[in-house]
Structure 1
């Protein structure tokens, strides 16, 4: 691949353009808002000049509702040898594109499983896709050359290709992406009118659950409107669990010992099923999730403190597998939770104490 055209310079389009441009591909940028394309170009993602000849690959990075029309327009204009989109829904847009009567052999649907709560070109980074799954949904009609261009794009973005059927993909993302977004938003909505005293008690748990609730509602309306059925199916299952859990909790309030026992059993059931589901979430490098031990360190809110603690861990020969930061309410300090291999935890704790860090149990 020597040349590419990125249509849509939001987070995903600009990030892909940055990755391609950084690896020597000449990238042309276009957007319905020319200012966004100019911003992406200024960031080093390519040029906002129109290509003089057909490019090797056109990457359509627009909301799902606009994918079919945008692709059809580009394909009829012959702007590229191959075409793909990066929308988070695959089945519906493909069927709409087929109905428009274009040459489907030059097209492949794709979806990089990566993103941020922020949108727009200024949120983009060249490493957004590194190590992340990038779904490809080829059909019998897909030309081998187009599939190879898509695979080359994935490789240049340092992502991991995953081949799926389009409708299977939509059911999968309903479960692992779209429903979590709605549930996170529902939990966060409970905080909107909550008493300030309660909000001040927020800890890492509520921050973890509500992190993605900060996402752009307009973007998510576009996504959910393109995949409503599978999301509704998953939510129906969640709703059934909620009903059962509410009944179990009400039973725990009963003065009847048998009802309380049944209530406790119902709550335990959903918690244990949650344990079993969580164990299936892939861990580092896609392997089964490892069990890490946490070393908690008190840290002040001063520039360079995180860098210093990571450097001290590195000097001790300990690899930090994950990290969480919990800020202390109303104070210029916080708690850094360093997740490490259990065998490395005593080594790290001793090294950090020796360097003057205050550890917490």
Structure 2
């Protein structure tokens, strides 16, 4: 009996017990693997969101800052004759100067304070597509400027912003703008370049050398990635590999609309700006009675996408969650057009970003 009991204690695990144990183990491993894959996909999708959101915030902050500076002229600066620019610009006896603030199309060509530096230059100028003039081409050629647009494009617009960046009279820097500085960024363009020194080989007109002109547009890199890029008006120090400064990659659409103020009436000394029109395209602004002198706000819309890379299940999950991509294009009634179907093989995450920026230096004043 002792021998029989010993054999029972030494008997092995049955096949059924082994199969049950394996089944339980597989269930546990499957649960762990599912949780891991799901967590990994969520992490990658969050990385995709960060890849979209962080550059977009940089782009919008840069554009807002530049648009708030658009048209700025330092009234405390001294002109070449030593007179205060405030006295030069606010002369109610001069019909042309008065019309900078009334902005009555019936009087004739409407100037802005910054066009007193460089004839034909406005605080902002946009094209519903490409732009022919370059910032450096503007500052190196004698005025007047004749702005012109190139090939139209429904989703890739161009925006130029101009403002006074450095003082006309450096000796007045204590009361005026500071000289250009690489440490603080004062007076530098979007490529972190300073205006040409007056009298240098790179200098154009004396007044043009005090201006900062930045031009934003989309371009396609050699690797096929769409970039929001900027061209500046500062001195380009050789050697130069590229005239553009890339700001953010993956920007596929850059569409702008503009708000224009109602014109004033010089006969009644009524200033413009009492009412605002709907947002219109750059082509419509150019054809409007006030033109670019009447713009008071800019609506920015960009469509950004992550890199086109294979992300395994994360990419499949992105396509499943976002079968179509957004667009900045508008319908006939003003709303955004329906989302666009993805191209074959496109697994990127897409997102639309919008912002409306008022032009702080679009001054409207009633003449005295």
Q: Please report the TM-score for the alignment, with normalisation by the length of structure 1.
A: 0.23
Flag the structure with more relative contact order, 1 or 2, with Cα contacts below 8 A and sequence separation at least 6: 2
Structure with the bigger percentage of helix: 1
